[in-house]
Amino acid sequence: MDIQQPQSNINQPAEPNQPLKKKWLKFGLSIAVVIICLVATGVAVYWIMTEPTEENVTSVNVAKTDNTGLVPSGVEGWQTYRNEELGFEVKYPKNWEFSEGTNRVYFKEINKSYFIEGDEMDYAIALSFWPGDKDKLAADLEHRKNLYDGTIININIDSEEAFQITDYLETGTLFIHRGREFDLSVPYFGTSDDDSLREIYSKILSTFKFIK
């Protein structure tokens, strides 16, 4: 009787192609590294694009100063302009008068005219107000600073934060109250009146009070 020996190579799985397997493993790792790099780059770009900049933050980085120059003095006998709706009052010299326009109050010396480059002005000092918030105030300050090469200082008005900007056109003090942006300003007229007007302006500003 013939005895058949088992054949060891029958029905045995073929050995895998080792070089090909390593090649695909390296390729897969390369793809994974590329994907990780792309994801990291995307996250970095998103973070940079959404990070707040100086133009859109609500705070304005300016030089700090105290209110030494805004202490009320020499305002005895001054008249008072009071606006209940907007929630404020302010004093002005007794020989001055005021007039009201759209979103604005004008102050000037009685029977005195003011001119800028030959054009007569209706006022010497103006208080303007319009709807606004801290974001809009910051944008307005940045725009004026860049457009007119202005400088900004931080001050207080009746214990509230305000910003005073001075450029070659005027000095203005801006602040937010009751959902409105206020701007008390005095222009440069280019005359001998400028120094005295700025002194009066500072005194008017020092009397500004919010109605609680």
pLDDT one-digit tens code per residue, 142-179: 988 888 888 999 999 998 899 999 998 999 999 999 89
pLDDT digits (tens, 9 = 90+) for 73-100: 689 999 999 999 999 999 999 999 999 9
- Calculate the alpha carbon distances from 172 to 34, 145, 163, 198 in Å: 55, 11, 8, 11
pLDDT confidence of 118, banded at 50, 70, 90?
confident
Regarding whether 76 and 46 lie in a shared domain, the answer is no
Residue 98's pLDDT is 96
Q: How much of the chain exceeds pLDDT 90, in percent?
A: 50
From 42-51, 52-61, 96-105, the region with the lowest mean pLDDT? 52-61
pLDDT classification of 57: cutoffs 50, 70, 90: very low
Same domain, 42 and 75: no
Question: Could you tell me the pLDDT band of residue 9, with boundaries at 50, 70 and 90?
Answer: very low
- Residue 182, domain CATH: 3.40.1000
Is 163 among the domain residues? yes
169 and 117 within one domain: yes
DSSP state for residue 32 in the 8-state scheme: H
The 3 state secondary structure assigned to 39-108 is: HHHHHHHHHHHHCCCCCCCCCCCCEECCCHHHCCCCCCCCEEEEECCCCEEEEECCCEEEEEECCEEEEE
Going by C-alpha positions, the residue among 89, 88, 72, 71 that lies closest to residue 80 is: 89
Q: Is residue 13 part of a domain?
A: no
- How many domains are contained in the chain? 2
Where residue 184 falls among pLDDT bands split at 50, 70, 90? Answer: very high
Is residue 3 included in any domain, yes or no?
A: no
Query: Does this model's pTM top 0.75?
Result: no
Pick from 24-33, 59-68, 72-81, 90-99 the range whose average pLDDT is largest.
90-99
Q: Is the domain of 24 the same as that of 106?
A: no
Tokens 């860049």 correspond to: 146
Structure tokens belonging to residue 55: 């133009």
State residue 53's pLDDT score: 42
